[in-house]
Amino acid sequence: MLSVIVFLPLVGAILVLLAGGSGDRRDREPAVRTLALAVSLATFLVTLLLWWRFDPTSADYQFVERHAWIPAFGIQYLVGVDGISLLLVVLTGFLTPLALLSSWDSVHKNVKMFSFFILALESSMLGVFVSIDLFLFYVFWDFVLIPMYFLIGIWGYERRVYAAVKFILYTMAGSVLMLVAIIGLAYAYASTSPTGTPSFNLLDLYAVRLSWPMEMWFFLAFAVAFLIKVPLFPFHTWLPDAHVEAPTAGSIILAGVMLKMGTYGLFRFAFPLFPSAAMYFAPWIGVLAVIGIIYGALVAMVQPDMKKLVAYSSVSHLGFVVLGLCAMNVQGAQGAVYQMLNHGVSTGGLFMIVGMLSDRRHTRLISEFGGLKAVMPRLVAAFLLITLASIALPGMNGFVGEFLILVGTFLWSSKLAAFAASGVILSAVYMLWMFQRVNYGEITNEKNRTLPDLTMREWVMMVPTIAMCIVMGVVPGVFLRPMEPSVKRTIERVTGRSYAATSQPQHVVALGAKPAPVPAAPLPPAARDSRIASPEPTAASRRPRSASSE
Amino acid sequence: MTEYAAMIPLVIVALSATAAMLAEAFRQPGERMPIAGLGLIGLAGAAVASGFLWNSDAHSMGVIRSDNFALFINFVLCIIGVLTMLMSGDVVEREQIPAGEYYALTLFAICGMMMMAAATDLLVVFLALEILSLAVYVLTGIRRRSASGAEAAFKYFLLGAFSSAFFLYGIAFAFALSGSTRIEQIGEALSRQGAGEPSTLALLTVGLLAVGFAFKVSAVPFHMWTPDAYEGAPTIVTAFMSTAVKAAAFAAFVRVFLSPLEPLKNEWIPMLGVLAGLTMILGTVVGVVQTNVKRMLAYSSIAHAGYLLLGIVSANTTGKAAILFYLLAYAVTNMGALGIVALLGTSQNQHDELRDFSGLWKSRPGLAGLMTIFLLSLGGLPPTAGFIGKWYIFSAAIQEGHYWLAIIGVLTSVISVFFYLRIVVMMYMTEGSDAVRPRLGATAVAGLALAVVAVLYLGVLPTRALDLALDSISTIF
């Protein structure tokens, strides 16, 4: 089933190429668009089916498919999903049709190739999330760059070539060092394995024990690759360029899914593969994340261009995700994974709105707008809901994620949590200020008087997005439950602590998703900081290096 | 008969070359003759014969050994030859190159290369080197009216002669050392010397042979001839030279350095390691500033020589197999890329400047797409042959703990992606030039299709080729 999900878009992409005829044929445009949309919707349905059949109580990989690929090097075609990747797969399936829809009226240059690249991109992103073999993962990880490069470079705005080249070189420079580390790790495994062949199977590699300098260097190589992708301050400089110049569909996918590949990689690969190095560097990464949160928010505040504003807000929001992961406890990590999904939906939504406005006015400058509420009440209402989701209003999705992350961070370091919390306020400031300048007040620009409100197609895009924002805010348990066992296991792998004795964390109870049994026995000391009501704040704020050190 | 079995593939190629020469001699003026077809038949015959010889480890007269290693190189050379024959038709007609001579020289060069890959005697290696070099010198300058062609051929000839002299001198020292020019006997003599300090004679042998090979594979600092020769030669010849000569030279390089000179490993590994690092760095860094596509690909070919050297420096099983796979991957990729450049030229203008590629996507979307795949493969991005090749080479280096060389390798790959992408940017993201785009003949299209299928096949399902490569190195210890 996973192979179907991964390769269906690719097959669709090839069909699109065939259906489009040779050259750039205008008359085939509707057929090409419909076909591409149908393929992406079909993929989405299969991902939903995957979720339906997923066993939420297990922390193991499910739907595993295994084929020998390059046996001489222990390379397999090995795919599977667990609770962490499952929802990211669904998210990818959800956003791709929206991205295609968003380009319906704005892209007319060679629609065939455009749809081809979007579908190829979907395929490779899905591949990244389901790969368990590191070689396979790297192949997909690198391949993602190619369609995105073309999407930015061909269908982007004025400085598209610069942005596209910067994007691909920046992210590639990070990934190739990871390649060296991957190979090094596989040979480290080979030196200990009985057969002497290397393995790229993640589950094998989790067991590899490295010397400290090796572990440190390998961790850094992995971490830099992922942090560039996230992007974490100070590796973020490619992002504003790429976002601003990318076409709307590209921005939706870039912000919605591709940035998550970085945080996903950190949590899936970098942390559990090199646990001691991860524990050693986590405070540093955490500090960078907090700097990113505040820096991104401050820079977003002064942007005159809406798209750039949203891009910097991504830097800020992804800082939260990284911070939650660095906290290395269940709350933080779960919040981080949840926030990945939230950010995908709400920032995807924001880029759709910005795209709609820029399609209407061919500008994205905030100063060009003003008083839109009187002209396009429905679009502005949608805009408001998405904005509220993005600034984490309680009842919307962003709240759940940021709350969990802050709880997790507080348990780890109250100082970082305090600084991070200021980012929540700042995000309200820049988003609402932008919203106010664009939508309220008098109509200052005559061109805005005659803008049409939401069209049918735009309704189709906005309704599911907003619905997801609300659903994820109201019933987070639906999404948190399947990911919980896997998140716990990953955290156990990194920290060496066991969560077997702990029950459901309390926050889930607070949000009314699932009743948690009260633990009968007193908690083991090692598990203490996974509880919200920690009796010793000083002990909880200091993070233990391992289970035994506390 | 069995005495000569090992030579059958190269005899077949030599016969087809002779047939091509005769066909040209008996051709009426103005008569069209499918001489390339003769070449195709010869190459196909050589490939089939190599297939029959697989696993037989046939020897001829103690100086030619058709072990799987040589046969693998034979296959690579046959593929290169077939692609050259297929894509040459249009070019030969357009540039008014004398067809018979062109095809005959190409085939003789391939014959020399096959001999070089199979030679187990340093003098035969030298003989093969001269056979292929002389043919390639002439091919470089085959456009008699072209000044740059003449200059390129002359430079190539002079520096090539120098390198041959170095090589011959190295052979002389090897003879002085061991009393023989046979590879096995040199190896025995060296291992008899034991593990202590190697003699000056041995060091001189290693150094001079290394210089000779470094010239041929265009490793820095012996690369000076490469950009000029590649730029001045007709583009299709550049494609042939950059892939086939490299394959043959590396085959002999591996056979000489990784078997008889293996005992001196500790002496030459640091030296070749430095050479590999410099070659990778210089090839890519200088490639960045080129505006002529042929020159750019010439520097890229220098960089690729650096990656291949990494395989020799690793000196392990993975490294040897990686070299074979990389040669195959590079052959199909670079034949494709330079083939497209060759096919885009017209008789007035070569159209090999970067700006000539602008807007190719609009006028020839298919060619632009193929070129993109070839360039991505050169840059080492998945899912192409180039990615697997680089992966394999870097694996070999990391396995031996050469982390720094691997890091230089991956970082230069990123830089090289920058200049490959310049061509992509031109093709896709720049408005069209008014360059006339010639129509492609059916054979050229077939050649490009073959190359692209091979690039993707080796990139997605490399298992078979990798296993063959691993299977081919058992006789090189």
Identity at B24, one-letter amino acid code: E
Give B-chain residues touching A146 at CB under 8 angstroms.
376, 381
Q: What is the pLDDT of residues A279-296, one digit of tens each?
A: 888 889 999 999 999 999
Whole-angstrom distance, CA of residue A231 vs CA of residue A261: 10
Identity at A328, one-letter amino acid code: M
From the DSSP assignment, how many helices (H) and strands (E) are in chain A? Answer: 24, 2
Residue A507 has pLDDT above 70, yes or no: no
Give A-chain residues touching B430 at CB under 8 angstroms.
161
Give φ, ψ of B271 to 5 degrees: -65, -50
Higher pLDDT, A513 or A5: A5
Check residue A446 and report its DSSP letter. G
Q: Nearest CB to A146: which of B362, B376, B429?
A: B376
Pairing of strands A75-81, A62-70: antiparallel
Pairing of strands B64-66, A75-81: unpaired
Whole-angstrom distance, CA of residue A135 vs CA of residue A146: 18
Does residue A10 sit at the B interface (CB-CB below 8 Å)? no
Whole-angstrom distance, CA of residue B292 vs CA of residue A330: 56
Q: Which residues does B25 contact at the CB level (< 8 Å), separation at least 6?
A: B100
Q: Is A109 helix (H, G, I), strand (E, B) or coil?
A: coil
Paired residues of B353 in beta bridges: B292
How many of the other CB atoms lie within 10 Å of CB of B62? 11
**Longest CA–CA separation in chain B, Å:** 68
**Distance (Å) from the alpha carbon of B314 to chain A's nearest alpha carbon:** 14
Q: Report the residue of chain A nearest B471, measured CA to CA.
A: A72
CB contact under 8 A, A180 and B394: yes
Give A-chain residues touching B417 at CB under 8 angstroms.
168-169, 172
With contact defined as beta carbons under 8 Å apart, do B42 and B12 qualify?
Answer: yes
Whole-angstrom distance, CA of residue A10 vs CA of residue A146: 14
With contact defined as beta carbons under 8 Å apart, do A345 and A397 qualify?
Answer: yes
Instruction: Please identify which residue in the block is written with the tokens 């960078």.
Output: A288
Cβ–Cβ pairs < 8 A, chains A and B: 85
**Distance (Å) from the alpha carbon of A176 to chain B's nearest alpha carbon:** 6
Give B-chain residues touching A142 at CB under 8 angstroms.
381-382, 387
Backbone CA torsion sign across B11, B15, B20, B22: positive
pLDDT at res. A542: 40
pLDDT at res. A391: 85
pLDDT at res. B134: 93
pLDDT at res. B93: 83
Q: Is A207 helix (H, G, I), strand (E, B) or coil?
A: coil
Instruction: Please identify which residue in the block is written with the tokens 């590209």.
Output: A250
Whole-angstrom distance, CA of residue B101 vs CA of residue B116: 22
CB contact under 8 A, B366 and A22: yes
Give A-chain residues touching B407 at CB under 8 angstroms.
177, 180
How many of the other CB atoms lie within 10 Å of CB of A517? 7
Check residue A195 and report its DSSP letter. S
Higher pLDDT, A490 or A529: A490
C-alpha Rg value of chain A to the nearest Å: 23
pLDDT at res. B14: 93
Q: Report the residue of chain A nearest B369, measured CA to CA.
A: A113
> Chain centroid to CA B187: how far?
26
pLDDT at res. B477: 62
Whole-angstrom distance, CA of residue B341 vs CA of residue B230: 13
**Distance (Å) from the alpha carbon of B388 to chain A's nearest alpha carbon:** 10
Where residue A526 falls among pLDDT bands split at 50, 70, 90? very low
Does residue B250 sit at the A interface (CB-CB below 8 Å)? no
Give B-chain residues touching A145 at CB under 8 angstroms.
381
CB contact under 8 A, A153 and B411: no
Q: Nearest CB to A180: which of B365, B382, B410?
A: B410
Give A-chain residues touching B414 at CB under 8 angstroms.
169, 172-173, 176
Q: Which residues does B94 contact at the CB level (< 8 Å), separation at least 6?
A: B345, B346, B347, B438
pLDDT at res. B455: 94
**Distance (Å) from the alpha carbon of B392 to chain A's nearest alpha carbon:** 9
Residue A15 half-sphere exposure toward CB, CA atoms < 13 A: 17
Residue A513 has pLDDT above 80, yes or no: no
Interface test with B, best of A17, A18, A139 (most B CBs within 10 A): A139
How many of the other CB atoms lie within 10 Å of CB of A501? 14
With contact defined as beta carbons under 8 Å apart, do A5 and A43 qualify?
Answer: yes
pLDDT at res. B259: 81
Whole-angstrom distance, CA of residue A273 vs CA of residue A279: 11
Buried b (16+ CB within 10 A) or exposed e, B194-218: eeeebeeebebbbbbbbbbbbbbbb
Interface test with B, best of A117, A150, A180 (most B CBs within 10 A): A180
CB contact under 8 A, A153 and B406: no
Does residue B288 sit at the A interface (CB-CB below 8 Å)? no
Does residue A11 sit at the B interface (CB-CB below 8 Å)? no
CB contact under 8 A, A183 and B394: yes
Residue A532 has pLDDT above 70, yes or no: no
Does residue B474 sit at the A interface (CB-CB below 8 Å)? no
CB contact under 8 A, B429 and A164: yes
Whole-angstrom distance, CA of residue A9 vs CA of residue A15: 10
Does residue B218 sit at the A interface (CB-CB below 8 Å)? no
pLDDT at res. B378: 93
Six-digit token string for A154 = 């061909």
CB contact under 8 A, A153 and B387: no
**Distance (Å) from the alpha carbon of A41 to chain B's nearest alpha carbon:** 26
Q: Which residues does B169 contact at the CB level (< 8 Å), separation at least 6?
A: B208
Paired residues of A350 in beta bridges: none
- Mean pLDDT, chain A, rounded, equals 82
Six-digit token string for A542 = 């200091």
Residues 350..409 of B with a Cβ closer than 8 Å to A: which?
362, 365-366, 376, 381-383, 387, 391, 394-395, 398-399, 403, 406-407
From the DSSP assignment, how many helices (H) and strands (E) are in chain B? Answer: 21, 2
- Using alpha carbons, list the distances in angstroms from residue B442 to A441, A499, B85, B436: 66, 67, 12, 19
Q: What is the pLDDT of residues A41-79, one digit of tens each?
A: 999 999 999 888 888 888 888 888 888 888 888 888 989
**Distance (Å) from the alpha carbon of B110 to chain A's nearest alpha carbon:** 31
pLDDT at res. A458: 86
Check residue A63 and report its DSSP letter. E
How much of chain B exceeds pLDDT 90, in percent? 47
Check residue B348 and report its DSSP letter. S
With contact defined as beta carbons under 8 Å apart, do A245 and B429 qualify?
Answer: no
pLDDT at res. A509: 37
Check residue B263 and report its DSSP letter. G
With contact defined as beta carbons under 8 Å apart, do A152 and A163 qualify?
Answer: yes
Give φ, ψ of B282 to 5 degrees: -65, -45
Does residue B181 sit at the A interface (CB-CB below 8 Å)? no
Give A-chain residues touching B406 at CB under 8 angstroms.
180, 183
Whole-angstrom distance, CA of residue A495 vs CA of residue A543: 10
Does residue A145 sit at the B interface (CB-CB below 8 Å)? yes
Whole-angstrom distance, CA of residue A308 vs CA of residue A299: 9
Q: Report the residue of chain B nearest A71, measured CA to CA.
A: B463
Q: Is A305 helix (H, G, I), strand (E, B) or coil?
A: strand
Residue B453 half-sphere exposure toward CB, CA atoms < 13 A: 8
Residue A550 has pLDDT above 60, yes or no: no
pLDDT at res. B213: 92
Does residue B417 sit at the A interface (CB-CB below 8 Å)? yes
Give A-chain residues touching B428 at CB under 8 angstroms.
150, 153-154
Residue A541 has pLDDT above 70, yes or no: no
**Distance (Å) from the alpha carbon of B372 to chain A's nearest alpha carbon:** 10
Secondary structure (DSSP) of B407-460: HHHHHHHHHHHHHHHHHHHHHHHSPPP----PPPPHHHHHHHHHHHHHHHHHHH
A543: left (phi over 0), alpha (psi -120 to 50) or beta: beta
The parts of chain B modelled with pLDDT lower than 70 are 1, 194-196, 433-435, 477
Instruction: Please identify which residue in the block is written with the tokens 């982390």.
Output: B403
Six-digit token string for A165 = 């080249």
**Distance (Å) from the alpha carbon of B275 to chain A's nearest alpha carbon:** 21
**Distance (Å) from the alpha carbon of B288 to chain A's nearest alpha carbon:** 13
Give φ, ψ of A62 to 5 degrees: -120, 165
pLDDT at res. B18: 92
Q: What is the pLDDT of residues A101-119, one digit of tens each?
A: 888 877 778 888 888 999 9
- Select, from the ranges A273-277, A372-376, A543-547, B322-326, the one with the highest average predicted confidence (pLDDT): B322-326
C-alpha Rg value of chain B to the nearest Å: 21
Whole-angstrom distance, CA of residue B395 vs CA of residue B422: 28
Does residue A14 sit at the B interface (CB-CB below 8 Å)? no
Instruction: Please identify which residue in the block is written with the tokens 């993707």.
Output: B456
Backbone CA torsion sign across A122, B412, B423, B76: negative
With contact defined as beta carbons under 8 Å apart, do B251 and B116 qualify?
Answer: yes
Does residue B224 sit at the A interface (CB-CB below 8 Å)? no
Q: Is B406 helix (H, G, I), strand (E, B) or coil?
A: helix
Let me know the angle formed at the C-alpha of A358 by A355 and A360, rounded to the nearest 5 degrees.
Answer: 110
Q: Is B143 helix (H, G, I), strand (E, B) or coil?
A: coil
- Using alpha carbons, list the distances in angstroms from residue B363 to B139, B245, B253, B352, B360: 32, 34, 43, 16, 5
Burial label for B94, CB within 10 Å (0-12, 13-18, 19+), is middle
Interface test with A, best of B288, B399, B422, B430 (most A CBs within 10 A): B399
Q: Is the ipTM of this complex over 0.95?
A: no
How many of the other CB atoms lie within 10 Å of CB of A195? 8
Give B-chain residues touching A69 at CB under 8 angstroms.
463
Q: Nearest CB to B462: which of A70, A146, A198?
A: A70
Where residue A508 falls among pLDDT bands split at 50, 70, 90? very low
pLDDT at res. A525: 40
